[in-house]
Structure 1
Amino acid sequence: MTTRTTTAEAWLAGRLPEEWFTGPVEVRRDRDEIVIVGSLPEPQLPDDADEAAREVAARGRTTSFREDTRDKRIEIARELEHLSGKKVSWGVRVGDREVLFTHLAAPVMTRLRQPERQVLDTLVEAGVARSRADALAWCVRLVGERSEAWLGELRTAMKQVEEVRSKGPDA
């Protein structure tokens, strides 16, 4: 399957400073938000450095990037928000560690029957979550992690349907 470059990705390729990331950024979007995730070079450590040292170094690299680029990222985000009509958030990847900076937490209206509410209340009462909203977010993350392969297949199928529709008679 070929990867399609969208207008946002093309615009970012021309707009982002070349020295920020080690390659093209990943652009994730939904109906409310665009999240831009770029890869940073891993800090140079001795070969015998343990996992704790690697974690601390990655956090340091992330913090440094976040602070050093804040004003420029805000400027670029405002421009893209104006172009897209969506909120723009940022994140970075250092090796296999990913950190999202302040990003949108969109309210989602849902109706739950008593058995589903009881699940959420159990998570709150057990201290797993602070509120029903946190408990529901925890459940969604858990399903996402446990069903990642299936969700990936579903997203791929949805893209294929979108491509076929775009070639249809009403296109």
Structure 2
Amino acid sequence: MNTSESAEKLRGWFTGRLPEGWFEGPPEVVLDREEVSVVGRLPEPTLAEDVSDTERAAVLAGQIQRFREETRDQRIAIAREAEHRFGHKVSWGAACGDEREMFTTLSVPVMTRLRQSERRVLDTLVDAGVARSRSDALAWCVRLVGKNTDEWLGELRNALEYVERARAAGPNP
């Protein structure tokens, strides 16, 4: 089964398995080699028009925190089922309004080879206090690139899905 089919199967399973009323619509389910992330959109509370941005953000964060606490045991049970069934760790998160929070995520070591000029970039970030270590500095760089190139990375991921479908449609060796 290719990655696209696996992701579709996971999305379908989580959409069918999660209790009704947890989220507005189906959850966002993202699969990589080690982890499945499940993020659902919570209903936005009705607020007075004169609520400040600070108070609004706090209310939304509170909604997310309440959901996290109230669903913890069920989320753990569902994650165990999914991990047994699909062989991937499950991470949870929620979004409400423009607030988004991941409750659990894996931190997976990744081997890389960097030249001195690249290591110096990481060391500068560490020396400046932007990151605690080279590992944190590299993660910071990856997040920055991901944030600033979301559209390009999305197009690349879509292109890879077409390649996977073409491979799957071809003759089997």
TM-score range, shorter chain: over 0.9
Tell which deviates more after alignment, 133-142 or 10-19: 10-19
- The structural deviation recorded for 1:145 is 1.0
- The structural deviation recorded for 1:144 is 0.6
Deviations 1:71-107 (A, max 9, x none): 0000000000011111100011101221111210110
**Which residue type is aligned with residue 168 of structure 1?**
G
**Which residue type is aligned with residue 142 of structure 2?**
V
Name the counterpart of 1:60.
62
Name the counterpart of 1:77.
79
**Which residue type is aligned with residue 171 of structure 2?**
P
Q: How does 1:105-144 map to 2 (within 5 A)?
A: 105-144=107-146
The structure showing larger relative contact order (alpha-carbon pairs under 8 Å, at least 6 residues apart) is 2
Q: How does 1:3-152 map to 2 (within 5 A)?
A: 6-152=8-154
**Which residue type is aligned with residue 28 of structure 1?**
V
- RMSD over aligned Cα, in angstroms? 1.5
Q: Tell me how far apart the structure 1 counterparts of residues 12 and 158 of structure 2 sit (CA, whole Å).
A: 21
- The structural deviation recorded for 1:139 is 0.3
SS class of match (1:134): helix
Deviations 1:19-50 (A, max 9, x none): 11111011001000000010000121102212
SS class of match (2:23): coil
Q: Percent identity?
A: 57
**Structure 1 residue runs of 4 or more that deviate by more than 4 Å after TM superposition:** none
Normalising to structure 2: TM-score of the pair? 0.93
Q: Tell me how far apart the structure 2 counterparts of residues 54 and 97 of structure 1 sit (CA, whole Å).
A: 10
Normalising to structure 1: TM-score of the pair? 0.94
- Structure 2, unaligned runs of 5 or more: none
SS class of match (1:6): helix
- Structure 1, unaligned runs of 5 or more: none
Q: Tell me how far apart the structure 1 counterparts of residues 14 and 154 of structure 2 sit (CA, whole Å).
A: 25
- The structural deviation recorded for 1:15 is 1.1
**Count of paired positions:** 169
- The structural deviation recorded for 1:133 is 0.5
